[in-house]
Amino acid sequence: MRRPETSIAEGSRAGLGALSPVALLNASAPTDQVVATGDVVFDGGLMLDVYAPRQPSGNRRIAVFFHGGGWDSGDKAMYPFVGATLAARGVTTVIPSYRVYPEVRFPAFLEDAARAVRWTVDELCRGSEQPVLIGHSAGAHIAAMLAFDGQWLRHVNLTAARNIAGLVGLSGPYDFLPLHSATLKSIFGPENGLAATQPINFVTADAPPALLATGRLDRIVDPQNSVRLARRISEAGGSAELRLYPLAAHASLIGAFAWPLRFIAPVLKDTLAFVEAVSGQTERPEQAEEATC
């Protein structure tokens, strides 16, 4: 039986509040090794932060990280420890804001996220460089929807096959029907349209390669979301790596990017290895033309 998903919105609303405290994680970030540019406007009133290596190498890696928060909370300002940690290891990282419930409902946050990717492609990519989409919790759902359901990137004249190097989903909800929470029902709309809100329903063979990481102790988002999505990708002929960390829970998985909690899971190491592998690839065979940003 699937674990009830009602805690996705209720539990992840606290986000990293379950850790002690977020300020400690951000204080541990290697900010002296990066150049951080905050509150860059990319669409209307929406802003993003950019973390770049202070000493960039010729081998550039680019990522867009979508924060979690149950689609009704969360803030990019909570995640310097993610952006700075990745940038210090050579991955220029964009962390955008996006509108949340009750200001908006599905799919407005996907549209915001797609525009953040468009900004990244226009402003940071060069030649054949492609960003990796990374997300935690609700942010992993958003990243996966952009990677698998082509309509959202098409709205900004991009395609996942040509413009996205890969997907890193961290503690993500990808297959969480039926809905029981009143909040989630309001966010995602009427029953007859819910299939269109689930990333697992859009998997195809030409989707970007994926790393799906989750903690076995996660009580907010059922780890089986990642297991089922990895299986579906494999069955479709795509590429998916699954990581189930025995000591990680929902918030501590993303917290393990910071050195004080890195003993919990090698999620940073695995993410960096995946980003390196997919960023170093040329275009996927079925997209042999126009593999550029």
224-250 per-position pLDDT tens digit: 999 999 999 999 999 999 999 999 999
Cα 293 from Cα 106, distance rounded (Å): 27
Q: Which of 186, 194, 110 is nearest to 148 (CA)?
A: 110
The answer to whether residue 113 scores a pLDDT higher than 60 is yes
Task: Band the pLDDT of 44: cuts 50, 70, 90.
Answer: confident
Report pLDDT for 56. 78
CATH number listed for the domain at residues 7-280: 3.40.50.1820
Report pLDDT for 16. 56
Give the dihedral sign, CA 194/141/216/22: negative
Task: Band the pLDDT of 269: cuts 50, 70, 90.
Answer: very high
Tell me, rounded to whole angstroms, the distance of Cα 185 from its chain centroid: 22
Report pLDDT for 11. 42
The answer to whether residue 198 scores a pLDDT higher than 50 is yes
Question: Structure pTM?
Answer: 0.91
Report pLDDT for 282. 44
Residue 116: partners with Cβ closer than 8 Å, 6 or more residues away: 42, 43, 46, 48, 64, 94, 96, 98
Residue type, 272: L
Q: What is the pLDDT of residues 47-68, one digit of tens each?
A: 999 999 998 777 799 999 999 9
Report pLDDT for 281. 60
Residue type, 239: S
Report pLDDT for 57. 77
